[in-house]
Amino acid sequence: MRSLGVLATALVLALSGCSGDEEPEKGPDLPTQNELTAYFGAVASYDTDALAAAAEVARDGSPAQAYLGYLGDYAASADAAGQPVAGSEVKAVDGGFTACGGTGKPDECVTWSDLEGEDGALTDFTVNDVALDDSLVDLGDQAPVAAEGLYEVQPDFAYRSPQSGTLFVTVTVTAGDVPVSPEPGVYIEQDQILNGTRTRAPATVEAGASTPVVLAFPHAEKAGLDGQVTFDLGLAGQGTQSIGFGLATSAG
């Protein structure tokens, strides 16, 4: 995986207490500065293994943990599509961390700040001054949409990017006896209808395989995060099936 050796080593050192000052820089409730650097380094890397390992820094069930889950889904979808996201270097700044590039332009930067923690675990923060509660929805407790022997679609996360205003919705698609092909969908929230666009997502999920898939809905700046997602799932040789679910459960 991209720079996995460096990221994994940094994370192990941070979590084992073998590098740097072990006193939390920003208060006793937060993780150590080394652990925070490992967490946000993983975030900026878009490396699925590093993102999974960084979950040890976040509190279970917190927005900080859900954010890792969303990014892990996005990165896995991009990898499955053959369009991996190039990682970027994270830098510590006053009150947080920043990185440039990634899914945006090389000179487009994101800053994670207003860090909050509990008992040495990271719980929450803002992304470009936008709270996770205002941009991220954890859908993991929803029941999957399934047809026995054909497919299962598990809603995972929804995230509205503060940089682009695009709403990204991730689902885990499992194909049954035949390959399936997720298509761009539609997001409806009250009187707003947002048409999806193709993004870093696999065109086909092979029979018996399972992968996260990201759906993208541009121009969602003014849309609420409680609307309805609908998209078509092509079934090889068996037509299409409409998949629908709501963004019903808030992260955190």
**pLDDT digits over 82-98, tens only?**
999 999 999 999 999 99
- What pTM was computed for the model? 0.87
Q: Has residue 17 got a pLDDT over 50?
A: no
How far is the C-alpha of 76 from the C-alpha of 38, rounded, in Å? 20
Torsion-angle region of residue 198: left (phi > 0), alpha (psi -120 to 50) or beta? beta
* Whole-Å CA distances, 59 to 56, 92, 151, 160, 178: 8, 21, 32, 22, 39
Query: Across-strand partners of 187?
Result: 194, 229
Is the Cα dihedral 70, 75, 11, 114 positive or negative? negative
List the structure tokens of 196. 């999806």
Cβ-based neighbour number of residue 11 at 10 Å: 23
Q: CB neighbours of 241 closer than 8 A, spacing ≥ 6?
A: 147, 150, 151, 232, 233, 235
Tokens 């707003």: give the residue.
Answer: 192
Of all helices (H) and strands (E), which one includes residue 171? strand 167-175
In this structure, the dihedral spanned by the alpha carbons of residues 154, 53, 126 and 113, taken in order and rounded to 10 degrees, is -170
Mean pLDDT of 145-170: 97
- Give the domains, in start order, of the chain with CATH numbers: 4-133 (no CATH), 137-246 (2.60.40.1240)
Q: Has residue 188 got a pLDDT over 90?
A: yes
Helix (H, G, I), strand (E, B) or coil at 183: coil
Residues 51-75 have pLDDT tens digits of 999 999 999 999 999 999 999 999 9
* Whole-Å CA distances, 88 to 33, 47, 110, 234: 19, 11, 11, 35
Residues 101-134 have pLDDT tens digits of 877 676 689 999 999 999 999 999 999 999 999 9
